[in-house]
């Protein structure tokens, strides 16, 4: 049951997002809801994610996806004001995590779940660079050690 026009729009677009070439004309709040909805239900490829990017986007979840370096750079350029980033089952080289996440000076919340490539060195560098970070949740990242976590304190 759809109760609002916004929920109807999200549900309609979620049925076939490939029909839309761009979402930039939608209000940023609606675009963010659509992106969250799609990412919670489907693994979008990186070219689909790019359709939602704009300077007002505050939150992004990348899950079960292969994200190329060029797409990470595009996210950092088009959505520089991200405040919340969740990465789940994303596998990148350590230097890609570092360069990508370091681009967000307003980042307040970072959640890393099953992200191979994140290690103590990356975590330490992020802690030095992300001064606005107040929430860090790490789950199932085997290359982060207790010593690496202790260095955050």
Answer whether 71's CB lies under 8 Å from 49's CB: yes
Share of the chain above pLDDT 70, in %: 72
Residue 13, class by beta-carbon neighbours within 10 Å (0-12 exposed, 13-18 middle, 19+ buried)? buried
Query: What integer is the mean pLDDT of 31-37?
Result: 70
Answer whether 102's CB lies under 8 Å from 126's CB: yes
Report pTM. 0.72
Alpha helices in the chain (DSSP H): 5-15, 28-41, 46-50, 69-78, 94-101, 120-129, 146-150
Dist CA 100 CA 74 (whole Å): 10
pLDDT of res. 31: 72
Query: What integer is the mean pLDDT of 12-18?
Result: 67
**Alpha-carbon torsion angle 107, 108, 109, 110, nearest 10:** 40
Residue 131, class by beta-carbon neighbours within 10 Å (0-12 exposed, 13-18 middle, 19+ buried)? exposed
Confidence of residue 20 (pLDDT cuts 50, 70, 90): low
**Residue 2 CB contacts under 8 Å (≥ 6 apart), including other chains:** 8, 11
pLDDT digits 0-9 by tens, 88-121: 888 888 899 889 999 999 999 999 999 888 999 9
Query: What integer is the mean pLDDT of 46-71?
Result: 74
Answer whether 82's CB lies under 8 Å from 107's CB: yes
Tokens of 150: 């202790």
């Amino acid at each position: 049951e759809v109760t609002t026009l916004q929920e109807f729009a999200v549900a309609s677009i979620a049925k076939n997002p490939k029909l839309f070439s761009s979402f930039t004309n939608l209000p940023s709040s609606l675009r963010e809801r659509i992106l969250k909805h799609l990412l919670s239900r489907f693994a979008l490829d990186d070219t689909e994610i790019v359709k939602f990017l704009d300077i007002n986007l505050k939150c992004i979840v990348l899950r079960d996806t292969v994200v190329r370096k060029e797409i990470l750079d595009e996210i950092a350029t088009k959505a520089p004001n991200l405040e919340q980033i969740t990465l789940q089952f994303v596998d990148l080289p350590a230097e890609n995590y570092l360069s990508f996440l370091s681009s967000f000076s307003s980042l307040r919340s970072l959640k890393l779940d099953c992200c191979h490539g994140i290690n103590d060195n990356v975590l330490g560098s992020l802690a030095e660079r992300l001064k606005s970070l107040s929430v860090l949740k790490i789950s199932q990242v085997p290359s982060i050690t207790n010593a690496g976590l202790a260095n955050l304190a």
